[in-house]
Chains A and B, each alone.
Chain A
């Protein structure tokens, strides 16, 4: 086979891949390349890329953490705001209630005082009225006595007895 191919074309000695005379050369240069490449990658390139990647990862993580923190503080601020609002509302309610109670108390006191005054005035007026009534009754009796005396005097001057007349008038007034 081999001599036949060489006879046909000198430029192509079969398959160059099976030409064992070139193997040491290829293997030598391959080993050199691989060793150099391994040193470059493991000493320089890969640690550098690893640092860059981890730095970027760290930066992204930091930013995310910061955002989380900000979100948390915003939520906290909202909570405090809501709490302050609720507190203020409760306080306002308290104040209103207190004022209401105080006003009620004042009002009650004023009403009681007014009631007392009214009662006192009513009692006084009653007293005055009863005095007036008494004096009026007395006057009526006096007038009736005097009138009866006069009438009896005029009709029967000798039979006039003041005592009897008075009793008769009193009986009449009562009856």
Chain B
């Protein structure tokens, strides 16, 4: 019984941790959207900045990856 409650807590925690991935989605969308709006204003400068965009995406995504990691650890390692 006690184990079941622990397991339930772990599953609920995993589900809650997954909301962090939504934040990462918002962040990545923000980066790309702003890049696109800037690129449409000045298309000639856009090609040189795609690498910077990907770096920004990677940094924004890293935090979502951490919440994914927390969810996985709660599911399988706790």
Contacts and interface: CB of A to CB of B under 8 A. Distances in A.
Find out whether A and B make contact in their complex, taking CB atoms under 8 A apart as touching: yes
Interface of A: 1, 4-5, 14-15, 18
Interface residues of B, number: 9
17 contacts: A1-B6, A1-B7, A1-B10, A1-B76, A1-B77, A1-B78, A4-B3, A4-B7, A5-B76, A14-B76, A14-B77, A15-B72, A15-B75, A15-B76, A15-B77, A18-B76, A18-B77
Contacts of B75: 15
A15 B14 CA distance: 14
Interface of B: 3, 6-7, 10, 72, 75-78
Contacts, number: 17
A83 to B, nearest CB: 45
Q: Which 3 A-B pairs have the closest CB atoms?
A: A15-B76, A14-B76, A18-B77
